[in-house]
Amino acid sequence: MRVAVVHDWLDTWRGGEHVLAEILRIYPHADLYALVDFFSDADRARLGGKRARTSFLQHAPLARTHFACCCRFFHARSNRSTCRPTTS
């Protein structure tokens, strides 16, 4: 069975990220998707080193510091996203 786990964005460790870590512990082979992934190495280690497949916002200018300003695009982008298997 293929499993995809979708999270809004990964920038800091808060409550939702604790839940995400537990879901990934239960489904260690799941594909992870997020709009952006700016986790530090320490936070990524808490997810078992897993990296998310991200949207175009990951590479937008000033995305690391201003991605929250793009909130109006998040809903539209996440509705158009499709879960495709990673090539690893």
CB of 56 closer than 8 Å to CB of 43: no
22-70 pLDDT, tens digit per residue, is 999 999 999 999 988 999 999 999 999 999 998 888 787 777 776 666 6
CB of 80 closer than 8 Å to CB of 58: no
Q: What is the DSSP letter of 35?
A: S
Q: Which amino acid does the sequence have at 49?
A: G
What confidence score (pLDDT) does residue 3 get?
93
CA atoms within 13 A on the CB side of 48: 15
Run of H or E residues at 54: none
Predicted TM-score (pTM) of the model is 0.74
